[in-house]
């Protein structure tokens, strides 16, 4: 039976209008998607006209490209020639205003509103743009509109590109059209894949988080191809599947899903690394569909977010991290609470702080893999977001919120959220607004347990103090160099496993020639020495031995600034949320003593 329930934003629009609170509405966000209602997918403008405004006698639609047209005309309209096909914005708005002031039960839809009343300083707007802004603003304040039972719906995908006079007008109700949530995606997948089991539907719904309805349909139910193209794909897939249960049925289903995918890519998706084996779950005909959906999703979202996000797909997990047992336990406990839905036990964000080379990025990526959570990195947003910056940011945050159960990794956080003396005014205040919006998003308690920020820096003293407060970065996790031979041996053992290095090292037998000599080196230095030693071992056709390791260590010259490294380490101690996560040498340090040492080093470093 078709689902007749309106989307939440549409229900709010209807109720707000019926209560007489507003007659001018601004729809923004996911406005170029298809709206799922009564088991049908409909473009938003058609949905607004056919469903939300269906009680109106006249419905007029203005698009700057196609001009004015009537979607519905149940009674005669005088001077019809003033409406049909008019593309000039000023003439179109004048015609619409005359209609709204002389007729009752009128609905008006204005598409691409940001092109009609663009944002910007008033002095830089053209005279026509200023008149358009004033006209739309005046409509929301004119009481004659309220008494006439008329409705105006403005549509824009990026509210930041619309005039602030429109956006900030309290008489204009702004409603966000969100990306489809879990319930909406499940309904759509069930509609597109009626033969799928509930378990398969649930997995497809989860994998499609962050995608629009139109994109999900495009992947799961693409358009019809020529019959010969379908047969060619079926033949290719049958050869790959071989003699497996229901091979023909699976091939025909996959041929439809792989519409438009080149044959070599189909082969790669069904036979990764050229191996003939099928995925472990040979009985699930959707296994390859899951793979394609995940791949297409990454491509779509990275493109839609303007290259400012990157999906993190590390090849290592927390088992590859040597030592740091307390840190690993803390991180796995957090990911477990996220997966189990214990949202109140999950911090809003994590701050990884410590000297360079102490493993912050490595651990963050390992955490992403071990937790099973989707992970993305925000890239260079302060330097690249210009022009439509705020709008682009809203799109990115909308995707983050829709995906859910996600890690958002921000490296070099002191550059992203640093205390800039210029206050961001060199770019017209864009950086300040962007950072303020991210702070607002980070502290939104609705995201607790669903969106976890991981911010990394070796200079937490350069961070804006407001970003470090409770409710944004609740837990501060310090990272340090290994100062005990036993700790270094754990790092060496983990690196030997990760790089699959053949060796003859044994501890504590080789401690004096290996780990004792590496005390004070960073984890990155340990890895560099290990790889150099492995290269030397290959050169002489031998396993890696303690003698070869000592030779590599003698040859290696680490780049070090002792005072700066000590300063970064003390900053990590100062920021730590818990003494239990500190090395023994710092667990009993007095706060006054710590501050005195920091102050002294700060003076020496200038």
> pLDDT tens digit string along 8-18?
999 999 999 99
Q: Are residues 462 and 508 in the same domain?
A: no
Domain range holding 488?
481-606
Residue 296 within a domain? no
Residue with tokens 């003699």: 243
What DSSP character marks residue 48? I
**pLDDT for the residue numbered 281:** 46
Going by pLDDT thresholds of 50, 70 and 90, the confidence category of residue 229 is low
Q: Which of 234-238, 349-353, 542-546 has the lowest mean pLDDT?
A: 234-238
Residue 277: the pLDDT is 44
Contacts 24+ apart (CB under 8 A), 160-164: 160/119, 160/388, 160/389, 160/390, 160/391, 160/394, 161/114, 161/118, 161/119, 161/388, 161/391, 162/26, 162/28, 162/113, 162/114, 162/117, 162/118, 162/119, 163/117, 163/118, 163/119, 163/120, 163/133, 164/119
Q: Within this chain, do residues 471 and 530 fall inside the same structural domain, yes or no?
A: no
| Strand blocks (E) in 283-413 | 309-311, 349-353, 374-378, 406-410
pLDDT at 383 over 70: no
Q: Do 472 and 490 have their domain in common? A: no
3-state SS string for 329-342: HHHHHHHHHHHHCC
User: Nearest-CA neighbor of 350 among 339, 340, 342, 338?
Assistant: 338
Q: Is residue 39 part of a domain?
A: yes
CATH number at residue 504: 1.10.8.60
Look at residues 453, 478, 503 and tell me which one is the last residue of a structural domain: 478
For range 233-256, the mean pLDDT:
74
**Which residue, 456, 478, 500, sits at the end of a domain?**
478
Residue bearing the bigger pLDDT, 30 or 124: 30
- Tell me the CATH number at 128: 3.40.50.300
Q: Are residues 269 and 159 in the same domain?
A: no
Same domain flag for 16 and 153? yes
| Average pLDDT over every residue of 311-334 | 85
Q: For residue 483, is pLDDT > 90? A: no
Q: In the prediction, which pLDDT does 46 show?
A: 94
Question: Scanning the structure block, which residue is given the tokens 């992203």?
Answer: 416
What is the percent of the chain where pLDDT is above 70? 89
Q: How far is CA 514 from CA 37, 494, 496, 511, 529, in A?
A: 67, 15, 14, 5, 10
pLDDT > 90 in the chain, percent: 29
Q: Is residue 186 pLDDT above 90, yes or no?
A: yes
Has residue 280 got a pLDDT over 90?
Answer: no
In a domain, 299, yes or no: no
For the residues 571-588, what does the mean pLDDT come to? 86
Domain membership of residue 300 (yes or no) is: no
Are 406 and 503 contained in the same domain?
Answer: no
Each residue's pLDDT tens digit, 100-112: 888 899 999 999 9
- The answer on 135 and 195 residing in a single domain is no
Residues 61 and 33 grouped into a single domain: yes
In a domain, 87, yes or no: yes
- Region 272-289 average pLDDT: 55
Categorize the per-residue pLDDT at 602 as very low, low, confident or very high, splitting at 50, 70 and 90.
confident
Provide the pLDDT for residue 386.
47
103 and 189 inside one domain? no
Q: How far apart are the first and last CA of the chain?
A: 72
Q: Is residue 303 part of a domain?
A: no
pLDDT tens per residue across span 329-379: 888 888 888 878 788 888 999 999 999 888 898 899 989 888 878 889 887
Same domain, 268 and 352: no
Does residue 541 share a domain with residue 464?
Answer: no
| The pLDDT value given to residue 260 | 66
Residue 392's alpha-carbon distances to 111, 381, 430, in angstroms, are 19, 10, 12
Residue 278 has pLDDT above 50, yes or no: no
Across the chain, what does the average pLDDT equal? 84
pTM of the model: 0.75
- Residues contacting residue 183 through CB under 8 Å, at least 6 positions apart: none
Q: Are residues 270 and 373 in the same domain?
A: no
Residue range 179-195: average pLDDT?
A: 91
Q: What is the pLDDT of residue 212?
A: 92
Q: Is 1 inside a domain boundary?
A: no
Number of structural domains found in the chain: 4
278, 354 contact by CB (below 8 A):
no
Q: Measured between alpha carbons, how far is 410 from 454 in angstroms, rounded to an integer?
A: 6
Tell me, what's the pLDDT at 350?
94
Q: Is residue 418 part of a domain?
A: yes
Choose one of 478, 504, 537: the last residue of a domain: 478
């Amino acid at each position: 039976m078709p689902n007749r329930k309106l989307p939440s934003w549409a229900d709010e629009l209807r109720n707000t209008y019926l209560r007489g609170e507003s007659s001018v509405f601004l729809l923004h966000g996911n406005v170029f998607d298809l709206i799922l209602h009564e088991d049908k997918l409909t473009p938003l403008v058609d949905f607004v006209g056919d469903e939300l405004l269906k009680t109106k006698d006249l419905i007029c639609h203005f698009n700057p490209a196609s001009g004015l047209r009537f979607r519905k005309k149940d009674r005669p309209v005088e001077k019809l020639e003033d409406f049909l096909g008019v593309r000039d914005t000023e003439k179109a708005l004048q015609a619409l205003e005359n209609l709204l002031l002389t007729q009752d039960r009128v609905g008006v839809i204005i598409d691409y509103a940001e092109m009609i009343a663009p944002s910007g300083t008033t002095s830089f707007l053209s005279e026509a743009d200023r008149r358009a802004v004033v006209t739309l603003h005046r409509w929301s304040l004119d009481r004659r509109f309220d008494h006439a039972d008329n409705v105006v719906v403005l549509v824009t995908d990026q509210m930041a590109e619309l005039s602030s006079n429109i956006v900030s007008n309290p008489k204009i109700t702004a409603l966000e059209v969100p990306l489809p949530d879990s319930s909406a995606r499940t309904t759509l997948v069930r509609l597109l894949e009626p033969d799928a089991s509930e378990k398969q539907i649930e997995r497809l719904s989860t994998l499609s988080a962050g995608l629009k309805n139109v994109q999900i349909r495009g992947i799961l139910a693409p358009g019809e191809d020529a019959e010969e193209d379908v047969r060619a794909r079926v033949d290719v897939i049958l050869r790959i599947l071989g003699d497996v249960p229901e091979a023909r049925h699976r091939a025909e289903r996959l041929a439809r899903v792989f519409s438009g995918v080149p044959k070599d890519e189909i082969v790669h998706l069904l036979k990764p690394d050229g191996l003939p084996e099928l995925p472990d779950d040979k009985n699930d005909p959707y296994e390859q569909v899951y793979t394609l959906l995940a791949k297409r999703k990454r491509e779509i979202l990275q493109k839609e977010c303007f290259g400012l996000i990157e999906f993190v797909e590390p090849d290592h997990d927390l088992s590859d991290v040597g030592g740091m047992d307390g840190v690993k336990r803390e991180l796995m406990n957090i990911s477990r609470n996220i997966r189990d839905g214990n949202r109140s036990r999950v911090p809003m964000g994590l701050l990884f702080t410590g000297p360079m080379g102490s493993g912050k990025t490595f651990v963050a990526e390992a955490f992403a893999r071990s937790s099973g959570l989707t992970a993305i990195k925000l890239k260079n947003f302060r330097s690249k977001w210009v022009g439509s910056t705020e709008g682009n940011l809203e799109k990115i945050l909308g995707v983050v919120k829709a995906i859910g159960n996600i890690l958002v990794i921000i490296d070099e956080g002191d550059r992203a959220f640093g205390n800039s003396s210029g206050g961001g005014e060199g770019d017209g205040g864009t950086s300040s607004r962007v950072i303020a919006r991210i702070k607002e998003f980070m502290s939104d308690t609705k995201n607790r347990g669903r969106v976890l920020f991981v911010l990394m820096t070796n200079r937490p003293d350069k961070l804006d103090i407001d970003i470090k407060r409770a409710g944004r970065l609740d837990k501060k996790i310090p990272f340090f160099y290994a100062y005990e031979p036993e700790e270094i041996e754990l790092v060496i053992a983990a690196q030997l496993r990760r790089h699959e290095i053949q060796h003859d090292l044994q501890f504590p037998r080789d401690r004096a020639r290996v780990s004792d000599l590496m005390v004070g080196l960073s984890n990155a230095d340990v890895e560099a020495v290990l790889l150099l030693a492995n290269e030397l071992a290959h050169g002489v056709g031998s396993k890696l031995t303690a003698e070869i390791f000592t030779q590599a260590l003698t040859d290696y010259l680490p780049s070090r600034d002792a005072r700066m490294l000590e300063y970064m380490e003390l900053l990590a101690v100062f920021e730590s949320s818990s003494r239990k996560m500190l090395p023994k040498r710092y667990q009993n340090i007095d706060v006054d003593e710590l501050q005195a040492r920091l102050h002294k080093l700060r003076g020496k470093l200038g």
